[in-house]
Structure 1
């Protein structure tokens, strides 16, 4: 188990991470997301012992690090997986994985599990990006770390390979039974792979929860916008329902919502229909996504909402359409005054 309490990190007089609290159970994967420069990689470096902490503590049971009780990186039993693979170019795949290992049994296990049998004697320069990342992961897990840190491990790979490899990495981490913190800029990756998602802003955690909860019930508007397409529509809140210009929906007040609220809408919450006799909006833009189209519709009240439709529906900017709410689950509602 990994426990972090009130962790703060300073660069000179600038506080870059403030009072971070988190705890990971055995084999739990936390996806850490946030804008560039918000402190994600800094947190990983502090957990690995590569930079000092200013306040708080890091505790894994075997050791505890504080500002006055430092634990050097080599004593922490931390596995790290980087986006640039960090392999020894002059060593073979097997030599990279077995580096500083006395017992090669675990190395053989991960070589087999990650499909590297045919590459044992190959040098890194002859491998693809995905194969290199598998080697880096096998090396990390063969050393039986107490926890694993992954710093955007898939950012250097093409989109098709990412989709497969993210699940191979997740399955390997679960097989190893170690907690992991995985930093990514890919919101889809974070929501699909993680047991929990942590959203960071300016060095402060905004929300840590299940992917479903962070997406559908974000703690504030920043989280709502960061984790996917988000639009807000004004509504009258009463008895856990909100009446809006495009229909009535069940809602949950996020911040002690008053009688008038802003209701969070995801594209799948908005139904778009091409009805020449019953129009209540005008399409302002359309993005083709392959299997679907994402459309923005301006309503008479000047609010813009988004809707995702089948790619077979031909919708163009300027089209007059009818939009309505299409949800059976409660939507998040925020007070009008909320600005975060």
Structure 2
């Protein structure tokens, strides 16, 4: 098991990673997300031993690294998958995967599993982006790492390819049975692929939990906003239910919220219909998403609510509509922020 305790990393006088603690199970995939500059890539570099740490420790099996007891990168048996693939351009696919391997049977296994058999003699220049990333992953797993670090592995690929390749990578990691930390800017990727998600903010881990928990029960307003469209509406929490101008819903308090609160609404928690005398909001803008449309609605009570509806339910900017809370699952409730 990978264990990280109170890890801190400084760049000069600036603390980039602050008191990070986490542990990974035997084949667990942890997705790390957060704004640009929050410390995601720095964490990967520290775990790989590529940069010194300022405090805390990293432990995995036979080795233990700290600020005063360093372990060289080559002694850690870490596998890394980069966004730019990092393949040797003068070597074939098979030579890239076999690089520095004494026994080629593992390379053959991963070449076959990742659908690369027909490309064994191809050079990287003749491969697509998805094929290059499969080669990089095969090379990493063929060396039997004790854990794998992935730094934005799909960021250079088109949207359609990302959707299929993310599952190929997940399945390969599970097949290998190694823990992995996967850095991404794509919230959908993080929520769908990871066993757990860690959300970073200015070098601190704000929450680490299963994807559904992070999305439905965010530990902070920052997490709520970062993982998707988030609207907050004032209400009153009593006996497990929150009463608002848009209706009531069961509530899960965050940090002991009670009494006058703000209820977190996701776009799918609310319905929208064209209405006349009983309307309660005005459409500000809409975004066509294919099968759905996302609307921003200014309610008569002064809230900006995002709502997602079928693309057949259309409304123009300035049109009066009626919003209502329709969800039956508990929604996160935060202490009221003074206006």
TM normalised by structure 2 equals: 0.99
Q: Structure 2: any 5+ residue segments left out of the alignment?
A: none
Rounded Cα–Cα distance in structure 2 between residues aligned with 1:7 and 1:313:
50
**SS in structure 1 opposite 2:8?**
strand
**Offset from partner CA, 1:79-104 (integer Å, 9 cap, x none):** 00000000000000000000000111
1:17 counterpart residue number: 17
1:109 counterpart residue number: 109
Rounded Cα–Cα distance in structure 1 between residues aligned with 2:167 and 2:319:
40
Rounded Cα–Cα distance in structure 2 between residues aligned with 1:31 and 1:315:
37
**Offset from partner CA, 1:216-247 (integer Å, 9 cap, x none):** 10000000000000000000111111100000
Rounded Cα–Cα distance in structure 2 between residues aligned with 1:236 and 1:312:
34
Rounded Cα–Cα distance in structure 2 between residues aligned with 1:156 and 1:312:
34
Rounded Cα–Cα distance in structure 2 between residues aligned with 1:337 and 1:255:
13
Q: Structure 1: any 5+ residue segments left out of the alignment?
A: none
**Offset from partner CA, 1:8-44 (integer Å, 9 cap, x none):** 0011111110110000001100000000000000000
Rounded Cα–Cα distance in structure 2 between residues aligned with 1:306 and 1:336:
19
1:334 aligns with 2:311: no
Runs ≥4 in structure 1, deviation > 6 angstroms?
Answer: none
What's the offset of the Cα at 1:322? 0.8
The answer to whether the 8 Å contact 2:34/2:200 transfers is yes
Rounded Cα–Cα distance in structure 1 between residues aligned with 2:282 and 2:62:
61
The answer to whether the 8 Å contact 2:262/2:337 transfers is no
User: Which runs of structure 2 are paired with 1:60-79 in the superposition (5 Å)?
Assistant: 60-79=60-79
Over the residues paired in the alignment, what is the CA RMSD in angstroms?
1.0
What's the offset of the Cα at 1:338? 8.2
2:322 counterpart residue number: 322
**SS in structure 1 opposite 2:223?**
helix
**SS in structure 1 opposite 2:249?**
strand
**SS in structure 1 opposite 2:61?**
coil
Rounded Cα–Cα distance in structure 1 between residues aligned with 2:70 and 2:188:
36
Rounded Cα–Cα distance in structure 1 between residues aligned with 2:280 and 2:24:
48
1:38 aligns with 2:38: yes
1:283 aligns with 2:298: no
